[in-house]
Structure 1
């Protein structure tokens, strides 16, 4: 059983079942727009179009294009200038939530944190040295 939600596009209530994130009316409208974009991109001369050009020609919302790329409906392998914004810096990416630069930065920071933590542990272990007393 689904839950009752407001459609983020039009504000109407709809039964959310996890399949669509908009109401049926808006889903039909999105599908119509998708067909228009796909028809535009199928033409050989338009395959290298970027997001701005697609929005200019078709009038489709930029966020909708990003949604289709993120879900795999418009594949960057077929349309090389498509992508969606990195969640961190906003640069276009084709996979994941972060672009390659942000992913590399995050890995580097995690490795630095790990090294610092290992260093602190080593110092703690050295401070726990065995002490001998000369009790007789």
Structure 2
């Protein structure tokens, strides 16, 4: 059974289940999607920018970009659609982060690995050498 929650959009109380927003907002979101999709279906509008779509449909830019991020609208079909990189906000058409941020993460991971290897070498050098003791057998103690 769902839990009682407030809708993050309209702050109405609803039973939170599979949807994170109330039924009224779900219907409004679907209506916005149909409006944007209907606009983009016209051949002359397929290359419209997100700002042009917002101006002509009345659907907020944030919602249009959310449709792209949710893969409800595909940039392969509509080339000027994009959304922001989760790290820097640069416009991207797929994934969660842009190429430059991916490269930066890779460099940081390599540096972290080098630092860890260096720390392991230092630790190994500082480790005390094991001392070996030898004893001789005495047969004369009988």
Q: TM-score range by the shorter chain?
A: 0.7 to 0.9
Match of 2:138 in 1: none
Correspondences of 1:16-27 after superposition (within 5 Å): 16-18=16-18, 20-27=19-26
Shift of 1:21: 2.3
CA distance in 2, matches of 1:130, 1:30: 68
Number of the residue aligned with 1:64: 63
CA deviation after TM superposition for structure 1 residue 97, in Å: 2.4
SS of equivalent to 2:123: helix
Give the alignment of 1:62-101 within 5 angstroms. 62-101=61-100
After the TM superposition, which segments of 4 or more aligned residues of structure 1 sit over 4 Å from their partners?
none
> Where does 1:96-107 land on structure 2 (aligned, <5 Å)?
96-107=95-106
Task: Give 1:30 deviation, angstroms.
Answer: 1.4
SS at match of 2:5: strand
User: 1:62, 1:8 → 2: CA distance?
Assistant: 18
Q: CA deviation at 1:131?
A: 7.5
Count of matched residue positions in the alignment of Structure 1 and Structure 2: 132
CA–CA distance in structure 2, aligned partners of residues 60 and 106 of structure 1 = 34
TM-score, length basis structure 2: 0.83
Aligned-pair distance for 1:28? 1.2
Which structure 2 residue ranges, 5 or more long, are not aligned? 133-142
Further displaced range: 121-130 or 64-73: 121-130
In 2: Cα distance, 1:131 partner to 1:39 partner = 77
Name structure 1 gaps, 5 residues minimum: none
2:78 partner SS: coil
SS at match of 2:29: helix
TM-superposed deviation, 1:129: 6.1
Task: Note closer, same or farther for the CA distance 1:3–1:96 as it changes in structure 2 (3 Å cut).
Answer: farther
Q: Give the number of the structure whose alpha-carbon radius of gyration is greater.
A: 2
Correspondence for 1:126: 125
